[in-house]
Structure 1
Amino acid sequence: MKRILFLTFLLASLRAFSQSPTESQISVLSKKKFDWMRSPNSGQLASLMDNNVILQLANGKTQTKNEFLDELRSKRFVVNSITISESLVHVFGETAIVTGKLVATVTANNKNSTINKAYTEVYTRQSGQWKMVLFSI
């Protein structure tokens, strides 16, 4: 009897920690986004973002898609490394929310710094494609 209870608990626990296919897809996109931020000329970051994406940055500034991408391309803001310590995906129909924690080393205006922050991303499915509509760090 104990063995059956243990196996039932184990299976329930595994199921609670597993991701749905949509959650896995969003998780991969979120991780790729951080990689693309390190090489912003690839075009993949731009295609992931909705044209009206809201970008709330660690310094309190809010930027448009073009402002953010221009800052990355011009090297005024360089993402040197990013380590994700926590990432959770929640899907609500055609909307997905990612919450997490990260540590990033960046160079802004020729000054190196380390950012240790929580972040939130919101994605919506548009014509079958997931688009990022909010990134807040």
Structure 2
Amino acid sequence: MKKSIFGLILLVLFTTNTFAQHTAELEIISLSKQKWEWMADKNVDKLTPLFDDKSVFVHMGGSWGKAQEINVIKSGGIHYKKADVHEVSVSMIGNTAILLNRITLLAVVGGNEVTNPFIVTEVYVKVNDNWKLGSLSFTKLMTPGQ
């Protein structure tokens, strides 16, 4: 009888943990989708609290922190017009979520409209019950179908 109760408790704990992880993964996917929309809309009022103060951004042309990324978006230095997301995956490590997107990004950079295929790595950390973006990195794919 004790083994049955112990087994049942383990099953409930495992199921609860699996459900919580799945819920967090869906929350991150939704947040990432919103982030792409806010970036396209140049909505720095929504992006500013999402980006952690220590966040880093890695682009084809360099890397920088939160303040410069917000300024680049606000000024239109890079206008993320449309991110077509083809694949998404999320890995959870404690209170950290690592999201990978395979996207085709339509952007305006330096006044020129460009389309590039990327794998984008987004790292989110849960801070005081809120997800904060800690890192956003673009890796250009050599061919669109990769």
TM-score, normalising length from structure 1? 0.82
2:38 aligned counterpart, secondary structure? helix
Query: 2:34 corresponds to which residue?
Result: 32
Q: Unaligned regions of 5+ residues in structure 1, if any? A: 1-18
Counterparts of 1:106 and 1:90, CA distance in 2? 27
The answer for the alignment partner of 1:62 in structure 2 is 63
| Structure 1: 4+ residue segments shifted above 3 A | none
Deviates more, 1:24-33 or 1:40-49: 40-49
Residue number in structure 1 paired with 2:24: 22
The 2-side partners of 1:91 and 1:110 are apart by: 38
For 1:126 and 1:75, locate their aligned partners in 2 and report how far apart those are by CA, in whole Å: 29
**TM-score for both structures, normalised by structure 2:** 0.77
Aligned length: 118
Secondary structure (helix, strand or coil) at the match of 2:86 reads strand
Correspondence 1:73 to 2:113 = no
Residue in 2 that maps onto 1:50: 52
Provide the alpha-carbon RMSD of the alignment.
1.2
Percent of residue pairs bearing the same amino acid type: 25
| Cα distance per residue 1:56-106 (max 9 Å; x no partner) | 01x141011110111111112111211000110111111100012000111
Tell me the equivalent position of 2:3: none
Q: Which runs of 5+ in 2 are unaligned?
A: 1-20, 139-146
The 1:72–1:109 alpha-carbon spacing in structure 2 relative to 1, beyond 3 Å, is same
Q: CA deviation at 1:40?
A: 2.3
**What is the rounded CA distance, in whole Å, between the counterparts of 2:28 and 2:43 in structure 1?**
22
Q: Secondary structure at the match of 1:27?
A: helix
SS in 2 for 1:45: helix
Q: Distance in 2 between matches of 1:49 and 1:78?
A: 17
